[in-house]
């Protein structure tokens, strides 16, 4: 009956005229408790997949492939979990901020190249290199949300590299 009412009142036609962005924005109007629960669940799935992937490394023949798949899927879930906290549009805008754009581009490129190296090129050494780059770029991206964290890491590395080791 509600469907008939919406068609007769013209609401259904207005719904079909919406853009994808409006639909996504409307769908993200969850309560804070629901957002927090979804974040925790999605993040735990991501961490669980990453740990499961590391455990798969010890399986003969297929272990490296499973590791790559689970590790990449875990990173995607962990990244996607933050969309529940701030909403998908705000998350995408923040990912493209000038402070995060390079880290985001490298991270997404490494996610794709990891899977390409494993399944398309069948070069597991290259896939493992992309896994390492994926982890480093994800960490650098995550540090951008902590005020002054990147600067502190850069200063720490500068001090460690320039200071001679005394015996």
Which among 105, 129, 133 is positioned nearest to 117, based on CA atoms?
A: 129
Residue 105 lies in a domain: yes
Q: What are the tens digits of pLDDT across the range 126-140? A: 999 999 999 999 999
Q: Torsion angle of alpha carbons 25, 30, 141, 117, nearest 10°?
A: -80
61-78 average pLDDT score: 92
Residue 19 lies in a domain: no
Which among 24, 142, 20, 32 is positioned nearest to 90, based on CA atoms?
A: 24
Residue 107 lies in a domain: yes
Structural domain range at position 63: 31-162
Residue 106 lies in a domain: yes
Query: Would the pTM count as exceeding 0.85?
Result: no
Residue 61 lies in a domain: yes
Residue 9 lies in a domain: no
Are 125 and 131 in contact by the 8 Å Cβ rule? The answer is no
Q: What are the tens digits of pLDDT across the range 137-154? A: 999 998 888 889 999 999
In the chain, how many domains are there?
1
């Amino acid at each position: 009956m509600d469907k008939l009412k919406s068609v007769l009142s013209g609401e259904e036609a207005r719904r079909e005229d919406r853009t994808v962005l409006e639909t996504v924005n409307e769908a993200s109007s969850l309560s804070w408790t629901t957002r927090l629960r979804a974040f925790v669940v999605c993040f735990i799935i991501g961490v669980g997949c990453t740990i499961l992937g590391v455990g798969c490394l010890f399986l003969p023949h297929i272990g490296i492939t499973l590791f790559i798949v689970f590790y990449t899927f875990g990173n995607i879930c962990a990244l996607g979990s933050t969309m529940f906290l701030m909403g998908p549009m705000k998350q995408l805008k923040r990912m493209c901020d000038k402070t995060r754009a390079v880290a985001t581009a490298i991270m997404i490129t490494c996610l794709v190249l990891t899977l390409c190296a494993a399944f398309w090129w069948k070069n597991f050494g290259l896939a493992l290199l992309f896994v390492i780059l994926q982890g480093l770029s994800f960490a650098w991206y995550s540090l951008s949300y902590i005020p002054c964290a990147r600067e502190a890491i850069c200063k720490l590395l500068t001090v460690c590299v320039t200071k001679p080791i005394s015996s």
